[in-house]
């Protein structure tokens, strides 16, 4: 009998140890949350507004607004957040005095004193945000013996290198063509759409390799590339049309094999690079082909589609994510058009970014890339007058750096959500707030909360049976750093 009692006692102790171990593995020892806020009123710009201590509670009250965070439910790993290093940005940068240049670089790329950008995009050949159209080879040079990036050495390459230094020596960079050279196309024009002539498929694939090689010789590592910027758009600027079948075959038979033969199999290939509206069909066609898909890292997308319906096509991102969970999703471009210097501080622009980023991330996106990081007081330079807004503008006439709402809304993600972070489950009990959340590699949790309403919103954040009560101003975005 005594032996049986001892065995029972040991069994109870073992069970308790198992339960305690399970609870420890599935609990988060959250203590406090620091709040940083940007708001339309009150002049708050990524401002620290206070710290709240978590305390234990049984459950929320039904009528209250609550945000629920579950760090045990993890999703995609974050690649980075950043913007495009275009010719227009570089040219504008070198019109600044040195003191302004240092301020600008620090504001974007310094992880402590800036918003800590970690991701970048640049163009192969010219794009609309260049002062002119150009390529890197002479006409009809199929051997690419004349290939030179001399054009980019004046502004763009030194600009990118400064960004890399300010970012701490590492910046994930991918590259995108807007158009092949005119002589490779059926319309003999870099502008106005047209198609790549089939006889130049291999030459164009070789062109990608040459570009990457030359940039890397300059000390600029290239992480990946998109096949074609906006492959369904016939633009008044540099553009080239690829059907889904043509893009698939170009990757399968030319670009993918050529990168591998050149020792560049580690370079990430991104397809589509166009709007959310048609991304499902394009992904089905290309990623559904296993011989093409084996070369492809993921699908890129823009936001220039119909926003009037309320859902903004975010469900299309989810459809691609569900259909091809082994591939990645990356936002490759977005900006606000119809530039007007009088509306430079329009708060709606920042909110457009915030809503897009929250929904894009919540549907599986791993990286988010804004368009031009810098433009001048005209919304350029731009050789086709396709002027737009950027998060930062430099007024060359008044020597003023202008930081818009977009800059601060972007910063609420890029400053606090680091590469390698995992998105975790986040939900709200009321539609008045938008939210997303991430756990960084150091264990700290970043919870982003956006309020598009005019009124202040009071709510609780719940994590593992503990909560804090907080509030956000009307027309604001906040990041809560939970430790």
For 68-86, give the DSSP string.
Answer: EEEEEEEEEEP-EEEEE--
Look at the block and give the residue holding tokens 């600009």.
159
Summarised one tens digit per residue, pLDDT across range 117-156 is 999 999 999 999 999 999 999 999 999 999 999 999 999 9
* Cα–Cα distances in angstroms (integers) from residue 60 to residues 1, 3, 70, 106, in the given order: 49, 48, 15, 42
Q: Which residue has the tokens 């970690």?
A: 118
pLDDT above 90 for 59: no
pLDDT per position as a tens digit, 209-256:
999 999 999 999 999 999 999 999 999 999 999 999 999 999 999 999
CA 310 vs CA 44, 314, 349, 355: distances in Å: 28, 10, 16, 11
Distance between CA 82 and CA 331 in Å, rounded?
10
**Among 91, 166, 230, 406, the one annotated catalytic:** 230
Q: Is 230 a catalytic residue?
A: yes
Segment 381-416, tens digit of pLDDT: 999 999 999 999 999 999 999 999 999 999 999 999
The answer on pLDDT for 275 being more than 50 is yes
Instruction: Give the single-character DSSP code of 136.
Output: S
From the list 91, 214, 247, 333, the catalytic residue is: 333
Cβ distance 394 to 96 under 8 Å?
yes
Q: Tens digit of pLDDT for each residue in 295-318?
A: 999 999 999 998 877 777 999 999
- Is the pLDDT score of 15 beyond 50? no
For residue 470, how many C-alpha atoms fall within 13 Å in the half-sphere facing its CB?
31
43 burial level (CB within 10 Å; 0-12, 13-18, 19+)? exposed
Q: In whole angstroms, what is the distance from residue 442 CA to residue 31 CA? A: 15
Nearest to 188 by CA among 200, 206, 170: 200
pTM, entire model: 0.94
Question: Cα angle vertex 285, ends 281, 287, to 5°?
Answer: 110
Rounded to whole angstroms, how far apart are CA atoms 152 and 286?
32
What is d(CA 438, CA 77) in angstroms, rounded to the nearest whole number? 9
Nearest one of 304, 326, 305, 330 to 174, comparing CA atoms: 330
Distances (CA, A) of 176 to 80, 143, 270, 311, 403: 17, 21, 9, 28, 27
Q: Which domains are assigned to the chain?
A: 34-76+424-482 (2.60.40.1180), 79-416 (3.20.20.80)
Is residue 424 within 8 A of residue 70, CB to CB? The reply is yes
The end-to-end CA distance of the chain, in Å, is: 50
């Amino acid at each position: 009998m005594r032996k049986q009692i001892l065995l029972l006692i040991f069994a109870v102790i073992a069970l308790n140890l198992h339960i305690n171990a399970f609870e420890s593995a599935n609990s988060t020892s959250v203590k406090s949350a620091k709040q940083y806020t940007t708001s339309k009123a009150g002049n708050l710009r990524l401002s620290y507004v206070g710290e709240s201590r978590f305390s234990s509670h049984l459950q929320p009250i039904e009528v209250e607004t609550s945000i629920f965070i579950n760090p045990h439910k993890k999703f995609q790993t974050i690649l980075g957040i950043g913007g495009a290093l275009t010719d227009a940005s570089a040219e504008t940068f070198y019109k600044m005095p040195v003191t302004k240049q240092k301020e600008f670089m620090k504001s974007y790329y310094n992880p402590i004193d800036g918003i800590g950008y970690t991701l970048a995009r640049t163009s192969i050949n010219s794009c609309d945000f260049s002062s002119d159209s150009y390529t890197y080879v002479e006409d009809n040079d199929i051997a690419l013996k004349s290939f030179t990036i001399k054009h980019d050495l004046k502004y763009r390459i030194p600009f990118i290198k400064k960004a890399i230094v300010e970012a701490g020596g590492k910046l994930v960079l991918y590259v995108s063509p807007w158009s092949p050279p005119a002589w490779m196309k059926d319309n003999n024009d870099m502008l106005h759409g047209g198609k790549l002539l089939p006889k130049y498929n291999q030459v164009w694939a070789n062109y990608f390799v040459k570009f990457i090689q030359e940039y890397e010789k300059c000390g600029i590592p290239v992480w990946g590339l998109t096949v074609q910027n906006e492959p369904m758009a016939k633009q008044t600027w540099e553009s080239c049309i690829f059907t889904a079948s043509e893009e698939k075959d170009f990757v399968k038979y030319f670009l993918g094999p050529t990168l591998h033969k050149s020792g560049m199999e580690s370079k990430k290939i991104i397809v589509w690079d166009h709007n959310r509206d048609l991304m499902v069909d394009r992904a089905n066609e290309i990623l559904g082909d296993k011989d093409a898909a084996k070369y492809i890292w993921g699908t890129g997308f823009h936001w220039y589609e119909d926003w009037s319906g309320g859902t903004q096509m975010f469900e299309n991102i989810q459809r691609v994510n569900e259909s091809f969970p082994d591939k990645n999703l990356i936002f490759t471009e977005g900006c606000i058009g119809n530039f007007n210097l009088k509306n430079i501080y329009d708060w709606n622009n920042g909110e457009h970014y915030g809503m897009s980023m929250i929904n894009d991330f919540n549907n599986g996106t791993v990286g988010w890339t804004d368009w031009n990081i810098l433009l001048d007081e005209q919304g350029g330079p731009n050789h086709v007058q396709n002027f737009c807004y950027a998060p930062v503008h430099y007024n060359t006439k008044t020597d003023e750096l202008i930081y818009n709402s977009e800059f601060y809304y972007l910063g609420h993600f890029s400053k606090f959500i680091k590469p390698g972070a995992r998105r975790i489950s986040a939900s709200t009990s009321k539609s008045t707030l938008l939210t997303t959340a991430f756990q960084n590699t150091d264990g700290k949790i970043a919870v982003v909360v956006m309020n598009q309403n005019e009124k202040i919103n009071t709510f609780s954040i719940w994590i593992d049976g503990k909560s804090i009560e907080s509030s956000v101003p009307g027309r604001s975005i906040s990041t809560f750093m939970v430790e």
